[in-house]
């Protein structure tokens, strides 16, 4: 599925302004353990804006008629396996797309974001989430770090969030401390772009479980189904 860090924040200025996220602090998140591949996100204190996003992603349309749609985009981190979703949607002539901009509805669930704390590795498929007790590090003046200026997806002038992925390769002491990120609400580019489409294009949101329940065929209880159910109730 599409990466949650699918562009720089400078590429979605209109969407940022629409949610009053322009001017909010921006940090980089490590996407790999062994390179300087980074993604940009907004790290904000705006709890009310965070709730607006949650409402957009969580509010399912009142009447679900899957025969009205052609392309679905599944929010990252879905606990239902993609093959099962594709099979259920195929019965209604719906295909799953990796391009959120081509979808005429979004498949949502309760796992699109995880709470991250105490420097643990930030999941690269967490789309909208909260963090607690992290540090931001300044790499603009750090020396002897692996080709950070040559990486296409890293901006040396934007502070990075130091998590366990970074700690596996670089010592905390090799980076310059910049600030404490005690508690922040994190908005990734994908979350901002999807929320914008839902708000302005009235793109409907339908839960993955609803898509399965709308299936016209009986579901065979197999190992894959048992694994999916186990993940959803954890």
Task: Supply 37's token pair.
Answer: 């591949």
In this predicted structure, what is the pLDDT of residue 145?
56
Mean pLDDT, contiguous 10-residue spans, the chain (234 residues): 82 97 94 80 97 97 94 96 94 95 97 92 94 89 56 77 85 77 96 98 96 70 70 73
Whole-angstrom distance, CA of residue 100 vs CA of residue 153: 21
pLDDT at position 40, please?
A: 95
Average pLDDT value over all residues in the chain: 88
**What is the secondary structure of 105-133 as a DSSP string?**
EEEE-S-S---EETTPPPPTT--EEEEEE
pLDDT tens by residue, 167-209: 887 777 767 777 899 999 999 999 999 999 999 999 999 999 9
Give domain status of residue 66, yes or no.
yes
φ and ψ at 214, to 5 degrees? -80, -5
Q: Which two tokens stand for residue 59?
A: 């509010």
Q: How high is the pLDDT of residue 7?
A: 92
Number of domains in the chain: 1
State the pLDDT at residue 142.
61
Task: Write the Ramachandran bin of 47: left for phi over 0, alpha for psi from -120 to 50, otherwise beta.
Answer: alpha
**Bridge partners, residue 187, by sequence:** 42, 128
88 within domain boundaries: yes
109 occurs within a structural domain: yes
Residue 4 lies in a domain: no
CB 196 within 8 A of CB 97: no
Q: Which residue has the tokens 């099979």?
A: 87
Is position 2 within any domain? no
- CB count within 10 Å of CB 156 equals 17
> Is residue 187 one of the residues assigned to a domain?
yes
Distance CA 225, CA 155 (A): 43
Domain with 171 in it:
9-233
C-alpha to C-alpha distance for 113 and 75, rounded to whole angstroms: 10
141 occurs within a structural domain? yes
Whole-prediction pTM: 0.87
């Amino acid at each position: 599925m599409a990466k949650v860090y699918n562009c720089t924040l400078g590429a979605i200025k209109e969407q940022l302004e629409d949610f009053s996220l322009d001017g909010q602090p921006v940090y980089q998140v490590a996407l790999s353990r062994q390179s300087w591949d980074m993604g940009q996100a907004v790290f904000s204190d705006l709890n009310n804006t965070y709730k607006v996003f949650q409402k957009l992603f969580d509010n399912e349309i009142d009447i679900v008629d899957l025969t009205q749609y052609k392309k679905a985009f599944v929010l990252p981190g879905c606990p239902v396996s993609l093959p099962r979703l594709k099979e259920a949607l195929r019965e209604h002539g719906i295909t799953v797309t990796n391009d959120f901009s081509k979808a005429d509805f979004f498949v949502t669930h309760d796992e699109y974001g995880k709470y991250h704390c105490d420097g643990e590795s930030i999941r690269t498929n967490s789309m909208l989430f909260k963090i607690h007790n992290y540090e931001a590090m300044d790499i603009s003046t750090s020396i002897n770090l692996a080709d950070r200026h040559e990486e296409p997806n890293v901006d040396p002038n934007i502070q990075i969030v130091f998590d366990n992925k970074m700690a596996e390769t670089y010592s905390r002491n090799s980076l310059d401390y910049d600030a404490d990120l005690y508690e922040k609400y994190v908005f990734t580019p994908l979350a901002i772009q999807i929320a914008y489409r839902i708000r302005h294009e009235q793109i409907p949101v339908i839960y993955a479980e609803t898509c399965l329940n709308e299936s016209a065929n009986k579901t065979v209880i197999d190992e894959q189904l048992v694994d999916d159910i186990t993940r959803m109730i954890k």
